[in-house]
């Protein structure tokens, strides 16, 4: 059976044979790009090549890019544990043309790779095109895809954008039908969010640039940007619809089961999945220099870590768990990503320290949460004050509380949470203005303002994205 490591190599070698330069993944923290929190796709490191600001000595490239989608325009944090196909960290396999080939070649490469090299049966594949894109439609038709399997989509699903600004364009996507034993419907249908028809590959025709004022212009060059999730194609080639059934995830889940002494079956499985997923994103973020903190990127890291730690707690773990799983991750991915092994000690120490600290308040916080919830009517919201107390006294990021409540079909009054946060800040300001020491209070409010409620609430909004 081909492992994820084999499948990654097959992809890169296929495109190298087609004249593409194999380029390393960029780090997860985008260099010189304040509009983006983390690299969320393969094209990010090539942004300036699409717009013509930069040229390199190649005009075809291929990569396996580390991606994190835990904030900003593409945020899958809340999907983890609920779908079979979303991670916070994943690898995006891509091929790129910078003003070289365009639609016909890009679609043909993708089709040849998946149907010949990977040997995926054609009759399980569906494609989508942007509703006005007759050219892409006709290329698929020419390749022999039956018309009823080329679906025209008018939504942003088929117009790809990295973030609020930057290069973008219509796209065509390839889906695989995993069979009617899994719930879900084809793209464009009401059941498309299920896991039966899984999107494996997105081929973007980079031909526009979006600007901050809302305008969009045609780029001088026509380029190609594609992205295929390694874990999704891996699951498919290993005979499952579920990313967590791949060799890599099975190993991580086994490590989690071993560390917690809880078998990964039944309702416990979801906790192991979340832990395995979050282990990858937190470890790779630390390896790329992000450290847990109370704002910005560091707070996203801390939120992911603490979510994982709550799931470890739900498995009954008495001792810190996350750091024990790092060797297993390094064993799986250290060869492809040497930075992981180099940072191993740092990752383990950081996870151990964070988990040790958080454990001191986690039990009591969860107890408070239970008490609060037990007094509520079925389906009633948790008050903003209670969520704020959990945040302020017990270090529960708002989304951790939301994650905990979602299991019971409850929500948090987020407006109430923001109001409680504001109230506390106003109180703190009033107390400080009495001290008379202006210099000190400026410093203090800088710290406090770094912890604006928008930082906690807003990473899934474009507004917050722009603030980083
Ligand atoms: P979906 O609709 O399933 O959320 P997407 O349309 O948001 O996927 P793209 O932005 O088109 O995804 O990214 C290109 C490819 O990267 C997808 O076709 C998929 O194979 C993979 N991918 C996207 N998001 C994730 C994720 N959170 N975890 C794993 N793989 C992903
Ligand atoms: Mg998505
Ligand atoms: Mg999609
Ligand atoms: Mg897509």
pTM: 0.90
Per-residue pLDDT of the chain (468 residues; tens, 9 = 90+): 999 999 999 999 999 999 999 999 999 999 877 778 999 999 999 999 999 999 999 999 999 999 999 987 789 999 998 999 999 999 999 999 999 999 999 999 999 999 999 999 999 999 999 999 999 999 999 999 999 999 999 999 999 997 888 899 999 999 999 999 999 999 999 999 999 999 999 999 999 999 999 999 999 999 999 999 999 999 999 999 999 999 999 999 999 999 999 999 988 999 999 999 999 999 999 999 999 999 899 999 999 999 999 999 999 999 999 999 999 999 999 999 999 999 999 999 999 999 999 999 999 999 999 999 999 998 899 999 999 999 999 999 999 999 999 988 999 999 999 999 999 989 888 876 655 444 444 444 444 433 333 333 333 333 333 322
Q: Which of 202, 224, 246 to mutate to test the pocket of ligand 1 (most atoms within 8 A of CB)?
A: 202
Q: Which of 72, 92, 163, 243 to mutate to test the pocket of ligand 1 (most atoms within 8 A of CB)?
A: 92
Q: Considering only the C-alpha atoms of the chain, give the largest distance between any 2 of them, rounded to a whole number of Å.
A: 77
* ipTM score for this prediction: 0.99
The sign of the CA dihedral 346, 347, 353, 354 is positive
Q: How many residues does the chain have?
A: 468
Distance 218 CA to ligand 3 centre (A): 23
Angle 78-86-288 from CA coordinates, rounded to 5°: 85
Angle 291-293-297 from CA coordinates, rounded to 5°: 70
Question: Is 200 near ligand 1, meaning CB less than 6 Å away?
Answer: yes
d(CA 306, CA 400): 7
Question: Is 63 near ligand 1, meaning CB less than 6 Å away?
Answer: no
Q: Which of 429, 423, 449 is nearest to 294 (CA)?
A: 449
Task: Output the residue whose Cα is nearest ligand 1's atom 27.
Answer: 86
Residue 15's alpha-carbon distances to 97, 172, 339, in angstroms, are: 11, 19, 24
């Amino acid at each position: 059976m081909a492992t994820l490591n084999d499948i990654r190599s097959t992809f890169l070698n296929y495109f190298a044979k087609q004249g593409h330069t194999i380029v390393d993944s960029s780090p997860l923290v985008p260099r010189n790009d304040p509009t983006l929190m983390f690299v969320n796709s393969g094209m990010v490191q090539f942004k300036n090549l699409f717009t013509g600001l930069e040229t390199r000595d190649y005009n075809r490239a291929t990569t396996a890019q580390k991606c994190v989608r835990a904030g900003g325009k593409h945020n899958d944090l809340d999907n983890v544990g609920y779908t079979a196909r979303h991670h916070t960290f994943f690898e995006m396999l891509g091929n790129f043309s910078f003003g070289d080939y365009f639609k016909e070649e890009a679609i043909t490469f993708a089709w040849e790779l998946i149907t010949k090299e990977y040997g995926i049966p054609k009759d399980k594949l569906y494609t989508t095109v942007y509703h006005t894109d007759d050219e892409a439609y006709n290329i698929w038709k020419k390749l022999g895809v039956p018309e009823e399997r080329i679906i025209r989509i008018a939504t942003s699903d088929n117009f790809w954008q990295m973030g609020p600004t930057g290069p973008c364009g219509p796209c065509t996507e390839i889906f695989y039908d995993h069979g009617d034993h899994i719930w879900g419907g084809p793209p464009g249908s009401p059941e498309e969010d299920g896991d039966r028809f899984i999107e494996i590959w997105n081929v973007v025709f980079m031909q526009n640039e979006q600007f901050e004022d809302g305008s969009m212009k045609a780029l001088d060059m026509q380029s190609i940007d594609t992205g295929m999730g390694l874990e999704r194609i891996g699951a498919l080639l290993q005979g499952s619809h579920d990313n967590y059934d791949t060799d890599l995830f099975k190993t991580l889940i086994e490590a989690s089961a071993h560390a917690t002494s809880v078998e990964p079956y039944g309702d416990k499985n979801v906790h192991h999945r979340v832990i395995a997923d979050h282990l990858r994103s937190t470890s790779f973020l630390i390896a790329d220099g992000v450290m847990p903190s109370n704002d910005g990127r560091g707070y996203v890291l801390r939120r992911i870590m603490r979510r994982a730690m709550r799931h470890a707690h739900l498995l009954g773990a008495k001792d810190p768990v996350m750091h024990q799983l790092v060797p297993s991750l390094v064993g799986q991915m250290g060869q492809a990503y040497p930075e992981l092994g180099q940072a191993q000690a740092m990752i383990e120490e950081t996870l151990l320290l964070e988990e040790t600290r958080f454990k001191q308040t986690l039990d009591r916080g969860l107890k408070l949460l239970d008490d609060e919830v037990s007094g509520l009517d079925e389906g009633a919201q948790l008050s903003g004050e209670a969520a704020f107390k959990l945040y302020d006294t017990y270090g529960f990021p708002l989304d951790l509380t939301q994650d905990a409540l979602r299991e019971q079909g409850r929500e948090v009054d987020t407006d109430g949470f923001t109001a409680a946060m504001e109230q506390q800040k106003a109180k703190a300001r009033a107390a400080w203005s009495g001290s008379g020491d202006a210099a000190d209070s400026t410093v203090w409010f800088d710290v406090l303002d770094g912890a604006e409620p928008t930082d906690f609430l807003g990473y899934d909004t474009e507004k917050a994205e722009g603030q980083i």
